[in-house]
Structures are given as C-alpha cells and as structure tokens.
Amino acid sequence: MVTPRCIVVRHGQTEWSKNGNFTGVSDIPLTQYGISQVHATANALFEDPEAPTYLDPNHVTYIFTSPRSRATHTKDIFLEHIPEKHRSQIKVIVDDDLREWEYGDYEGKLTHEIIALRKSRGLDQEKPWNIWRDGCENGETTEQVGCRLSHVIARIQHIHSIHLNQNKPCDILVFAHGHTLRYFSSLWFMSMFSSGIVQNKLVSTNFKPQTNYVGFQNITKEEAERDVPFVALEKFYYLNDNPWFMLDAGGVAALSYSHNKISEPSLMLSGIFNPRATK
Amino acid sequence: MVTPRCIVVRHGQTEWSKNGNFTGVSDIPLTQYGISQVHATANALFEDPEAPTYLDPNHVTYIFTSPRSRATHTKDIFLEHIPEKHRSQIKVIVDDDLREWEYGDYEGKLTHEIIALRKSRGLDQEKPWNIWRDGCENGETTEQVGCRLSHVIARIQHIHSIHLNQNKPCDILVFAHGHTLRYFSSLWFMSMFSSGIVQNKLVSTNFKPQTNYVGFQNITKEEAERDVPFVALEKFYYLNDNPWFMLDAGGVAALSYSHNKISEPSLMLSGIFNPRATK
C-alpha cells in the first residue's frame, strides 16, 4: 500500500519574485536563473527515473497547475525530465483556482510600499497589515482565497481517495505560487486542528458549483469534468494569520495522510527528501 | 547573509519502530536496514562536500543529540560522511532534554494495546486517547515534554542569534525521535500563532535553571556550559493536540527564520530539499 501524496512546487525565480514585488495576476516570465533553478530541482527529483529516489514518475497520475506562465513553464521543465513513456500518462489540468492571491491595489508593489499606501489611507492604526487576515484592497480577502483553495484540496483528496481504495499509487503534483501554496499547505493539515489560525465557514446553499479548468494536456475537458469533478463542500476553511512557512522559488513540499487514512491529512516534515536505503 | 537553520533528523529504523512499539527510554539499536537507511540519507546530503547541494558541512556549527543509542548512532553515521577537516570542527552535545517522550506504562506497547489498557482503567470514555493532549500514565505529560523542548529551542535560537549578529553561517543538526521531533518542530513555528494547539505556561520563579548535557565531542563540558548556556524562559510552550506531521525513520526536516529575523521562527516546507541552480 503506497500512501498518496500531494507534491507542491513553487515556480522558479522571476524578476519580480527576485525583487520582492507582489505578483498576482501579472504574467511575469521566469528569469534565466529561475529556469536553471527548476532544471536543477527536476534533475535532482528524476535523476534516474528507472530507480527513483524521491519520486517515481510512474506513480504520478495528475498535475494541477496555475494558469500563469511562470507556473506552467515550471511544470513544462519538470515534464522534460520525465521519460516520454511516463510523461504521456500524466494528465495535466490548468486550474484557475490555483492562481496567486489577487493583490488588487498592491499588485507589483513592494511590502514597504503597501504598508505606506495603507497608512496613507488611514488603515492599520491598531495593528500592522497581515495579508493572511486582512487580505488586499480591491483584491481578494482571505475567505475568498481559502474558499477556492479548499475546493482544490477537495478535488485532489477525492482523486487520492479513489486510488487508495483501488490500492493504486497516486502522487499528484501542484504547480503554483508563494502565497497560494503556503496557504494550500496550511489548510491541508491545520484544518485538523480544533482551534487556531484556520477558521471554517459554512457554504451557502445558493453556492453554485463550477469547475475552473482552463487548460488540458493528455486529458479532454469532458474527461476532466467527469474524473476530476467539482466536489461540493458543506464548509470551507480559511486562515486568519500567517502560517509561518518558508517556500523559496523552485521549492518542493509534500502533503500526505497519517496512517494511510484520507481523513487524516498531514504535512510531511521532510518534504520530498526521503532517500531510500539501497543495501 | 545566510539564514541560520535547525535541521532535525529522526533516527533510522529499529525493530520496535518497524513494529510500532512505543520506544521511550528503552535503548533499542538500529536494525541493519536502519543503518543503511541513514547511510543513504547522509550520502544524499553530503554527496559532494566540496560542492554541497543541500547542506555545507562547513556551515554546521553544533550537533545536539538525544542520549539514546539509536540517535547517537544515526549522528555517528552522518559524521562519517563528512570529511575529517570539517568533522573535527563540529561541536557535539548530548542533551538529555532531547530524549523521547517518557511513555511510562505504555513503554514497548502497540497503540491498540495502549488503547485497551486505558479502557480497562476506565479512561477515554468521552474522547479517544490523544498523547499530545493526555500524555502517558506514569510517564510524561504534554506540559513536561513541552517544557524541556522549549528550553532546547531557546538554547539553539540563542546560538543562532549570536551567529546571525556576527554574520556567520550556522546550521545546527538535531538527532532525536518521532514524537519529540514532531513536537519540537511544532513549537518552533506554531508558538507564533496567537491561538490554537500551542499553549503557553508561565514559568514559576522557583524554577531551577539547569543544563542537561550528558556527553560532549569536540567541546568540553565547561565550554558547552559557557557557549551553550541554559536560557531562562519567562514562559514555555506546549501542545494540546496532534500537530498532524509525518516524519519517517531517517527523515530530515528543516526549521529556520522568515526575513532572516530570529523573532520570526518558521518551518521550511521543502525541508532540506533545495537544489541549487548550477547553470
């Protein structure tokens, strides 16, 4: 029995990530350094695909990616490192729910510029700005980000559940961004806590289920909507504080399940780094 | 400026860890598989010490280890993979505060046996046993474990702080156990949360500071007590729930600081896995 994993990958460096500009909807490409960074990561992961140390390409079922080119380019570089016979088996879904936090008025700005802007508008007089609680003016609130990421998690756990029941390996790769992936990782396991920085909100019965897939590879739109359906939620989760995670550009983290139970989503502390004994 | 890191390593497989027996104070050795597991991990970490991908031996200042032989043996195997010129510079402290949770009546038992034992004693009628909240009969409470691990964290952050102020790299390795390392990692960053599974407790003014070092390598007892002093705490932290982490035998995780600030302890989601761009 192989426990399913969700392996999240932050895109490589861009000019804006290098300089600290908040990059939400803007479609900023990888730098040359960012490209080589992702090659180095993918190479370390798939160095010998016939005797994989960290990730067996044959166990990868689906890739979910943000539509932004810095994420899809990172995904393409990863796929280049996987032999064709495995690559053609991996279904890729471009999921708009994985886009970066919509920063609204703060798009392209540096942290100190955002702080100054908010101050000039009379905000943050009692405590400093915390995006994980306060969100962005004319951009997304933390409830909005939590809602769409809770739905992505539900879709992925649904696929994991089916594979686990059939006793089939199922590693799913997720390519996205600094804020959304730290957010996504927190919701994955901290929603198990009975109290704390993860809150839950009941979903209105008027809530209209929809999928937000905007691209496909090795799978048709119809197959995607059938095999990776929208999962209706009774409630969704969102953060009210910084989860205090670090995830550098090009970084890879791993989420899984304790005791092989889908009802016990957990964080793998060592990420993807689990070399196997060879002797 | 290189941000200090605390790299935690769970010992390799033992007969008891393989079978799921709770192993606290018992001194159970590594299996042959456990030994090769740790060699594989250390080899992946230090494959080319002159061009290190994950961990530069030259940046390792201190090692802290639990006194149990499964931890010190794991530490010895790691040191074997480091060239002598670096190895002799690394100060090793055997710290009794890093021992595994004292399981008391549950030592050596399997989870289902513990649950049955507690049931036979009339416990857990309202909710199931949760070691992170309920502790162990005739063993340690969660407050006791939290107290000693909070002190280890304070000692390590004190060393990090000094090195950061002097702009010197400082990676510290910690060799310990499944429960204590997941506990330690939670306290490291979740103590930043204003509410949740991490509680804090004020320390009595009668509290007697003491160090619990029981062994030394490349450092004398006097140097250790001078350079790695007991750090008095106004309060310590402890858990009241499962942090939902996974850390397999031989696993390696990484803790650090956001924005290079000792006041912002954070978890590195990718663990030690951060391959560098080579082009």
Look at B248 and A53 and tell me if their CB atoms are within 8 Å: no
- Residues A125-140: pLDDT tens digits? 999 999 999 999 999 9
- Residues B223-279: pLDDT tens digits? 999 999 989 899 999 999 999 999 999 999 999 999 999 999 999 999 998 777 654
Is A88 an interface residue toward B (CB < 8 Å)?
Answer: no
CB-based contacts of B76: which residues, under 8 Å, 6+ apart?
none
Is pLDDT larger for residue A210 or for residue A66? A66
> d(Cα A144, Cα A203) in Å, to the nearest integer?
12
Q: Is A70 annotated as a binding residue?
A: yes
Q: Which two tokens mark A62?
A: 């689906």
> Distance of alpha carbon A20 from its chain centroid, rounded?
20
> d(Cα B178, Cα B9) in Å, to the nearest integer?
9
> d(Cα B104, Cα B25) in Å, to the nearest integer?
9
Look at B53 and A33 and tell me if their CB atoms are within 8 Å: no
- Residues B179-215: pLDDT tens digits? 999 999 999 999 999 889 999 999 876 666 677 899 9
Q: List chain B residues with CB under 8 Å of A36.
A: 277-279
Strand, coil or helix: what is B40?
A: helix
What is the CATH topology of the domain spanning A5-267? Rossmann fold (3.40.50)
Q: How far is B255 from chain A (nearest CA, A)?
A: 9
> pTM for this structure?
0.96
- Residues A225-277: pLDDT tens digits? 999 998 989 999 999 999 999 999 999 999 999 999 999 999 999 999 877 76
pLDDT of residue A205: 63
Task: Please give the ipTM for the structure prediction.
Answer: 0.95
Looking at the predicted structure, is the pLDDT value of residue A207 above 80?
A: no
Of B73, B100, B177, B179, which is the active-site residue?
B100
> d(Cα B217, Cα B214) in Å, to the nearest integer?
11
CB-based contacts of A102: which residues, under 8 Å, 6+ apart?
A24, A25, A136, A139, A140
Q: List chain A residues with CB under 8 Å of B36.
A: 277-279
Domain coordinates of chain B in residue numbers?
5-267
Using CB atoms, which residue from A182, A273, A277 is nearest to B272?
A273
Residues 235-274 in B contacting A (C-alpha not used; CB under 8 Å): 241-242, 244-248, 250-253, 256, 258, 264-274
Q: Is A257 annotated as a binding residue?
A: no
